[in-house]
Amino acid sequence: LIVFGYGNGTTKKKEKLKGGSSMKKRVLAVLLASMMVIGMPGCASADSAEQGSGGETKESSGTGADDTYTVWAWDANVEAIQEAANRYNEATGGNIKLDVVTVVNEDSRNKLVTIGGSEDWDSLPDFLLMEDTAVAQFVTSYPGMLADLTDYDIPWEELVESKKSLYTVGGKHYALPMDSGASIAMYRTDYLEEAGYTLDDLTNVTWDEVIKIGADVYDRTGHYLLLDDATSCFVPKQIYTSSGGQFFDKDGNADIDNDIMKMTLEITKELVDSNTMYIAGSWDEYNSCLNEGTGGGVVNGMWINGNISNAPDQKGVWAVTDMPALNIDGATHMTNSGGASWVITRHAGENTEELADFLSYELCGDGAQDYWDYLADFAGYLTTYKPVLNSELYRNVDNDYFGETFFSDVAELVDGAPALNSSPYYMDAQDALINAVVNVVNGSDIDTEMQDAQSNLEFAMSN
């Protein structure tokens, strides 16, 4: 059974909400992915890959007599949100008390589906961490579950548009951004040097140039320049979205059979056929091949630095730059891959304003500069709040594994990515892309796969 890798190191499976159904071709794609013979075999299971903490939850304590708010979060965010409350109380004289429960992303989604289906609103936490691409799905599937935060005192205009667009539904804002999922390219400089290249040769380049260099790197070193995961297809997703590709038009209609998608599939096929990129069959293998040296680079959200640093022996050899771009008008070197935000639920009731003030103060208000300084050091997170992003903060944050300019280099890639049209069917659209990529890499006709992707997405949206 193949599961989907998620940017925070946990795993996720596709669950069905009212707003989106599984693709008809999922089974075929999974079978094909497991049959893939591209690249080098034998990468072991990644025992060191982070898989998220916990998974059990406690009963919601709500906001009863003890004025304690129940929170669901995962990984570093569990400690980080408690730290936010401590800082907020100290700075403002507030009395925010949190019961932070570890619930991994997959479990959180499943619990919310159950709660929404039964309308058992008392079982909701007061606020929780939610994957950006899932916000529109829950807003649409279960009206009233998540609080509309639009009219609270939150500086929406100061938040990066590409992040904000994913949790904006019908012109209303339903979340406050946590981490940035800004896409970056990271390469092993020792492999590049062995093949006669430097990081500059892979900076501000097109995908066509990457294919030429990657083929040469493989011939000279026996290592692939890039890695990807067949169950997530991180690279083609980012090729598509960085180039202005949309899964849905402004009216919410499926829009995946287009010229940018065709170029994305063509480039992905060339990356594999030229031995520039090895596609692992699972999230675990992806991490294992990354840490064991099968590949010398990745294009993914900046959170990937945590997975890379699981290999202590590679300290100092990895360097970051911008991702490649398609050679077409409107294509950029920026997009997003992964990321999560805080949403407040209807369970907060009359306390919604207090929670909105607390979260806004720390994430995009008076406490933001100090809080994001802490988050960079503690969890490797970058903000999408422009005043902090454009300050001198990230020029002063050193990274012991990647070097002193890592955060400042990534900070330059956060703002400017194309904004995506949100939709409750976003995960269905990504499934359609994944199915098309897997089939094309295994020899299917590109035009046929694009038409199938469009029809499968339309079918999902009609049910």
- Distance (Å, whole) CA 233 – CA 168: 25
- Distance (Å, whole) CA 433 – CA 10: 21
Find out whether 5 and 106 touch, Cβ atoms under 8 Å.
Answer: no
- Distance (Å, whole) CA 339 – CA 179: 6
Read off the DSSP letter of residue 373.
H
Q: Give the Cα-Cα-Cα angle 368, 6, 57 (nearest 5 degrees).
A: 75
Give the pLDDT score at 16.
Answer: 36
Which of 79, 60, 59 has its CA nearest to residue 70? 60
Give the pLDDT score at 66.
Answer: 55
Helix 259-273 to helix 207-221 angle (10° resolution) is 10
Q: Rounded to 10 degrees, what is the CA torsion of 422, 423, 424, 427?
A: -90
Residue 215: its H or E element: helix 207-221
Find out whether 181 and 303 touch, Cβ atoms under 8 Å.
Answer: yes
- Taking the CB of residue 293, how many other CB atoms lie within 10 A of it? 16
As a three-state string, the secondary structure of 8-72 is CCCEECCCCECCECCCCCHHHHHHHHHHCCCCCCCCCCCCCCCCCCCCCCCCCCCCCCCCEEEEE
- Distance (Å, whole) CA 399 – CA 329: 35
Which of 10, 29, 148 has its CA nearest to residue 77? 10
Residue 78: its H or E element: helix 76-92
- Distance (Å, whole) CA 268 – CA 255: 20
Give the pLDDT score at 397.
Answer: 87
Give the pLDDT score at 48.
Answer: 33
pLDDT truncated to tens, each residue of the chain (463 aa)? 233 333 333 333 333 343 443 333 333 443 444 444 344 434 543 333 333 333 333 333 344 435 799 999 999 999 999 999 999 999 999 999 999 999 999 999 999 999 999 999 999 999 999 999 999 999 999 999 999 999 999 999 999 999 999 999 999 999 999 989 899 999 999 999 999 999 999 999 999 999 999 999 999 999 999 999 999 999 999 999 999 999 999 999 999 999 999 999 999 999 999 999 999 999 999 999 999 999 999 999 999 998 999 999 999 999 999 999 999 999 999 999 989 999 999 999 999 999 999 999 999 999 999 999 999 989 889 999 999 999 999 998 888 899 999 999 999 999 999 999 999 999 999 999 999 999 999 999 999 999 999 999 999 999 8
- Distance (Å, whole) CA 200 – CA 208: 16
Read off the DSSP letter of residue 305.
H
Read off the DSSP letter of residue 403.
B
